[in-house]
Chain A
């Protein structure tokens, strides 16, 4: 009886999420390209990644997914247009990697985002509904 109870407690406290794959994303696009709001398999990283920077590791769901993010290219941004006196708001566009990455339990993954492997992402959910 005591053994059974002990087993139950052990099973309960053993956190299944601890075996989820650990993922880090690196911005390897170009010096003038910033990326933010990176997401992959249920994980989301807030903050902006400059070229060469990496996210903090996160435990994500196992499975296959592309990396989704918002991209801003500094060299194509014009702070003022001809008529406006106020600075223009930078536009971040939705992008994703062209290929999916598999992640399995108990593994570590470092995913590098490069310019050749990008395409626009039109799969983002629509407006919030009530």
Chain B
């Protein structure tokens, strides 16, 4: 702790000294916008990233279209592209790329984008909840079932189940997503509890220019799988609307592995005057299915039924040097299981955040958050209800991003919060990035993150609870070298994930106990090499090797992702295709290297024919073939994945 504090102190002294030795100059982004002599009211492109913002120079790339706001006509003069912050340890994936992957679910698609992200699965589209569920996300060794050490943030709002403290992996559909940023190593400074191993920041789609866009995607495939996805985006005057519906139904490859998922959403954004926006988002999710059980002992009658509703609302004020944002949210769910379990949980909160460009080399972010968790559980068979205490957590946070030297970028930040069991909690982070030249970039960072005990761990005796539990803490560090050029995109990162105060269950009923006791350390190395713009073929390879110590439960030692993208523009269409595969070694069903599992190997193939746009619409038939070598493999022991299976679809885009 002392060493860490000394590091932070040293970093801040070095950095601040360099920043204030340079005279402040107006931010380049503002200069660029002013260059046309007109106000910029399309604020989307100038908004500072919340995940890992940068004060790096912006580049005006091209002229965009005309936009209107309120009664005035305005002109967007340039598309401002911010280069990736040199200090960031993030993976950024476009929603379109995730949609075009053959993976059955959103979290599986994400896991095929980086070798240090591992996700379990059991079939073709439904992960489920409770026993037998999959969709556990591991990032650099932390996380996994039930995912409470990984935080999902959807449009600025944390998303997790109030009682069990984890996200529901089936509650997301790639069809609705604009982009995803995975913050590896977590970031509790900006995002609070659960951001221990990583944060998955999801940004939903808006129409960026005035007009209408309707996309319908219909798919059908093996195991009586049918999917419908419909999204409509409208931007007119000061209004910006987004509606979406996504439904998937499948019988699954064996009894109990099927189910259905329905996601409905509505969002609206309105400009109020020159500098203010109001945003509203709502979402409803319904998932039903079952735990199919191990193939040796199927249990297709162990059904579940989950409804979740979420909404967020708040204004954003833009001023010359930054933004002020206020977001309030509520997320509630109703879970029912075959054994009479019934729960209602609520997560609600409010965040106020200010981002302020002090000068071109210094961006300051600060804010305050209050988060409330509540819920009750009921046994529908005997009618017994349990009302555990609710929890409220207030916190304040701040972050400085500075550029003391031309090629050096630093980020540091801290959050103070008041935990109901621990009392005051201090979290911090620091990162540095250095651009050696046009191609090479060095970066490193350290974060101290935490996870509050869940209501279940504190108060619900399944099999035991402990109201004296305190938060878990992690200290994650990483350093890497990145190379980017016109034809090559590659990096190597070494990482260390440590955690202490882990909440662990020991023993069995009636003498079980749950206590904060254990510590954890993972050392690993992860890298990627992607070739691009070399003709129709773009091969890629990603690998990760980690030593997870005794924490081997579904936490693999080695993962390799490989493949080749193919893109061929023709006269009437563009042919897009990807052949990709994964090889995963060192899988165990339990800690201490117990119950070893077979290595996983599979190949997927996808083909899309993107037809030229005609009269404002475009058609794109596609075909996904999963597990083309028909391998018998499993992520969870005896939850055998399907053999070769096919999904064909047709995407229709109207603009």
Contact = CB atoms under 8 A, between A and B. Distances in A.
Nearest to B572: A1
B462 interface: yes
A11 B623 contact: yes
B646 A17 contact: no
A106 B144 CA distance: 37
A73 interface: no
A66 B220 CA distance: 34
A36 interface: no
The interface residues of chain B, by DSSP majority, are classed as loop
A70 B245 CA distance: 44
B220 A124 contact: no
B297 A128 contact: no
Nearest to B627: A16
Count class of interface residues, chain A: 20 to 34
B130 to A, nearest CB: 5
A39 B299 CA distance: 10
A46 B645 CA distance: 28
Contact of B462 (A39, A105, A123, A129): A129
B131 A43 contact: no
Interface residues of B, number: 44
A42 B648 contact: no
Contacts of A14: 646
A76 B130 CA distance: 38
B456 A16 contact: no
A13 B122 CA distance: 22
Interface in B289-335: 291-300, 302
Contacts of A11: 623, 625, 646, 648
Contacts of A42: 253-255, 292, 295, 298, 640
A1 to B, nearest CB: 7
Contacts of B609: 1, 4
B264 interface: no
A65 interface: yes
Contact of A39 (B221, B224, B298): B298
Interface of B: 130-131, 164, 220-224, 253-255, 291-300, 302, 337, 339, 341, 456, 462, 572-573, 609, 611, 621-623, 625, 632, 640, 642-648
Interface of A: 1, 4-5, 8-9, 11-17, 39, 41-44, 60-63, 65-66, 68, 105, 123-125, 128-130
22 contacts: A1-B573, A4-B609, A8-B622, A8-B623, A15-B224, A17-B222, A39-B297, A42-B253, A42-B254, A43-B255, A44-B298, A61-B253, A61-B640, A63-B295, A63-B632, A63-B640, A66-B296, A125-B293, A128-B131, A128-B302, A130-B337, A130-B456
